[in-house]
Amino acid sequence: MRRGARADFVAATHTGRAVALVGADGELVVVDPLTGVVRQRAELGLPLRGATFDAEGWAGVTGATPPASVGDLRDGLLQALVDPDRRFPGLARYLLATLAKSPGPPPTAALVRLIRDPRWPPELRELATDHLNERPDEHSAALYLSLLAERNDYVLGTRALSVELAARAAGALQLPEAVRPLLLQLADPQTPVPTLAVVVAALWSIGDRSAKEALRELLLTYRCDPELAWAPQILSTAAAAVLEWGGSAERELVTFVAQDPHTVPALRQRLDRLLSGDADDEAQ
């Protein structure tokens, strides 16, 4: 694959230190075989149906080819991933997996950019999300915090595209700096319910007791909300955190919610188990 290609390649050869390819439109491209980075381009000035190469001993690049660095490899992977040619989804999946294993914040930032690009096929964006969820990067805290700060605002024209991903990473890494932006997401009525579940779980995982009052208010405010009837783990996780961080007053509160006939039935059942000590880890 190549970025911005005008026609398919019709021939290629590997010289040992370079890969030379020629396209049907007459473009000659020289690629570093270690990194995939394009080293040279040339226009032959005529259309082609096929070609042969007499390139024995030709390196393809002037001077010695430097050893491939992590940055070169990463840039080569990114160049291949953003190629508009989508005929090779298997190759794209392989490139994604390879990039996800590359150390440091740049690969994380690159995968986030790809996830947020609507031109990417949904199945590959989902795969990139899975890779990031499996590999929260402790060196990318600043990136996660910036994603948590995003808001859905119709007036300003802004969208929160990666809050769930960032909240999951913040919880896994137990980032104390994430508590405030997580609480702002918790208080935002436009935060989607699936994202809200991850935000609450992240707050409990971080373990900052300053979040207790916000989780307490969440439990009291939404215990009767039918929208949360299909996701009672959100409020039961909040209740578990309130119980863990509080005392007798907090236990009385959770008991009240569990016994209130207006509370969503599925939540009442979870809270009964939680109060009896039979509940599993609600954050899971």
The per-residue pLDDT for 76 is: 66
Alpha carbon distance 220, 91 (integer Å) = 50
Mean pLDDT (10-residue bins), the chain, 284 residues: 55 79 84 74 81 69 51 64 65 80 82 86 88 90 95 75 95 97 94 94 96 96 87 94 94 96 94 84 47
Which residues touch 184 (CB under 8 Å, ≥6 apart)?
149
- Name the nearest CA neighbour of 148 among 179, 127, 114, 125: 179
Dihedral, CA atoms, 266, 197, 221, 262, nearest 10 degrees? -10
Alpha carbon distance 98, 14 (integer Å) = 23
**CATH 3.40.50 is right for the domain spanning 1-68:** no
The per-residue pLDDT for 284 is: 43
The per-residue pLDDT for 24 is: 85
The per-residue pLDDT for 233 is: 93
pTM (2 decimals)? Answer: 0.72
Q: Which residue ranges make up each domain of the chain? A: 1-68, 69-135
Which residues touch 109 (CB under 8 Å, ≥6 apart)?
140, 143
> How would you classify residue 63: left for phi > 0, otherwise alpha for psi between -120 and 50, otherwise beta?
left
In the 8-state DSSP scheme, what is residue 226?
G
Which residues touch 203 (CB under 8 Å, ≥6 apart)?
171, 179, 182, 183, 186, 211, 214, 215, 241
